[in-house]
Amino acid sequence: MQKQHFLALDGLRGVAAIAIVIFHFMEWIFPQFEDNVIGHGFLAVDFFFCLSGFVMGYAYDDRLESMSLGKFFSLRLIRLQPLVVIGSILGLVGLLWSPYSVADAKSIPQYIQLFICSVLLIPLPVLEEKAFNLFSLNAPAWSLFWEYVANIFYALVLVRISAKHLYLLAGVAAIALVYASYSYGNLAGGWSIDNWEVGGIRLAYSFCAGLLIYRRNWIITNRFGYLTPAILLSIALLMPFTVANWLIESCIVLFLFPIIVALGAGTRMPKGVQPLGAFLGAISYPLYMTHYAAIWIFGDYLQSDVFDSTLLPYIVIGGSICLILFAYVIMKLVDIPIRKYLTKRYLRIT
């Protein structure tokens, strides 16, 4: 039987992906989180992780007993890896072609090394001009690295453990998350060699929380519709910074995001906006994985001699819209055809 599709969760995933794009634009303009109107935008990744745990349990908890590990990993590779490659190609093009580039030229072997490591999700933080991102050609790929870790750990361990042990894992991860937030002053880590461990901590708690929502059936049946959880998510990402920022961000990730997932899973989108939810869900992952080359070019533009501050609103708004449309084109013309071919070729599914 075909499983229920959570359109509201799809729509929320799309909102989170768009928030990430806007955040990446704005962090170049306002490097200090306190000055950024969407300064908590990086928390959208924690929402992704929580949603991923819920969806993984929903999609595979009752299937893995009859599915080989080889097939499971093949399915996950086919779903995730094409856009990792596409994002790496776009990152390489952006690095080589940026009309406002401030980067030092590299040798051909260095570019090849950067590309291979990016495609294989091997951390290589060597680009000083790109803030030593762990994945030099596509900075957001750090979360995909941890997503793969979660997939492996889920298939080998989490799918078999009891609720008691899952509670224990979530509790330990929650303590580590609060400590990381207190130590750094926020939960923005995971993307750099200086804070790489925070990515694993953020993933560990949120993925376990999402899995618990599914397994304990903590779905909150409601008639709020899509708008209420979308507003809650937006408030979490837009709220101003305070002296207790580390505590507020911890509470958002520990409590609010799981509640939003539970609300989104328990509501239905009105028919009139269901196409919007489907669209936002479909473009969320392509948008997340293909936008950063444009962000690099934007950052170079800000540091160039031709920078014009009066154009910033048009660039940020217009650029975000163009990146959404570009992600849709990549999804329809590249990602989906590749995944269909790989599925038919290697999994023998027609």
Integer Cα distance of 346 and 70 in angstroms? 11
Integer Cα distance of 252 and 230 in angstroms? 14
In a domain, 62, yes or no: yes
Integer Cα distance of 286 and 301 in angstroms? 24
Question: What is the per-residue pLDDT for 3?
Answer: 58
pLDDT in tens, 2-46: 456 799 999 999 999 999 999 999 999 999 988 999 999 999 999
The token pair that represents 205 in the structure block: 């708690």
Integer Cα distance of 5 and 58 in angstroms? 10
Question: What is the per-residue pLDDT for 314?
Answer: 96
Give 327's pLDDT tier (boundaries 50, 70, 90).
very high
Q: Range of 131's domain?
A: 7-346
In a domain, 263, yes or no: yes
Question: What is the per-residue pLDDT for 350?
Answer: 40
In a domain, 2, yes or no: no
Amino acid (1-letter code) at residue 67: M
Question: What is the per-residue pLDDT for 132?
Answer: 84
pLDDT in tens, 134-170: 998 999 999 999 999 999 999 999 999 999 999 999 9
Question: What is the per-residue pLDDT for 103?
Answer: 63
In a domain, 55, yes or no: yes
In a domain, 1, yes or no: no
Mean pLDDT score of the chain: 93
Is the confidence at residue 243, as pLDDT, over 90? no
Q: Is the dihedral of CA 134, 140, 145, 147 positive or negative?
A: positive
pLDDT in tens, 81-136: 999 999 999 999 988 887 887 666 778 899 999 999 999 999 999 887 777 899 98
Mean pLDDT of 49-78: 95
| This prediction's pTM | 0.95
Q: Quote the number of domains for the chain.
A: 1
Give the list of residues 6+ apart from residue 91 with CB closer than 8 angstroms, or none. Answer: 118, 136, 137, 138, 292, 293, 296
Is the confidence at residue 348, as pLDDT, over 60? yes
Question: For residues 46 and 249, is the Cβ–Cβ distance under 8 A?
Answer: no
Buried residues in 143-175 as b, exposed as e (16+ CB within 10 A)? bbbbbbbbbeebbeebbeeeeeebeebbeebbe
In a domain, 221, yes or no: yes
**What stretch of H or E contains 126?**
none
Question: What is the per-residue pLDDT for 287?
Answer: 98
